[in-house]
Amino acid sequence: MVMTDDEILRAAARIRATQRRKTTKSCPVCETEFEGIATKRYCSDRCRVQASRAREGDAESAETRREERRAIIERLFKLRDEIYGGRMLPDDSTEILRAEREARSQHLADL
């Protein structure tokens, strides 16, 4: 039986996987002992995700970031209201231009 290129590569990968150096380590999150390859740091995906979330910050800092974002959004809405005088802007800017031209034309006609 002749092996295809893919089968040869898979067999080589299996052989290399068995030759990887395995070490006994302690998981930094749950502190359980586990055996894994030299680059593995956590015993499971659950511990890896917990460590990632801990690096991103705790719940208080996440709430602080949310409050800062809300404050920025409120400032942007206030700025928009100051610039446009509380008018609601239509989705299309051509509608704004048309309304302003009509108002100017009406003003000139009244003179």
> Can you give the pLDDT of all 111 residues of the chain as single tens digits?
688 989 999 999 999 988 888 888 889 889 889 888 888 889 889 998 888 888 766 666 777 888 899 999 999 988 888 877 766 665 667 777 788 889 888 888 887
Residue 35 covered by a domain: yes
CA distance 44 to 67: 33
Residue 42: exposed, middle, or buried by beta-carbon count in 10 A (0-12, 13-18, 19+)?
buried
Output the pLDDT for position 53: 81
pLDDT for position 88: 64
Q: Residue 109: inside a domain, yes or no?
A: no
What pLDDT is recorded for position 87? Answer: 67
Please give the model's pTM, rounded to 2 decimal places. Answer: 0.39
- Which phi and psi (to 5°) does residue 92 adopt? -105, 125
Would 6 be classed as within a structural domain?
A: no
* pLDDT of the residue at 89: 60
Contact 35, 24 (CB under 8 A): yes
d(CA 43, CA 31): 9
Q: How far apart are CA 58 and CA 77, in angstroms?
A: 29
Q: Which domain holds residue 85?
A: 21-95
Residue 100 lies in a domain: no
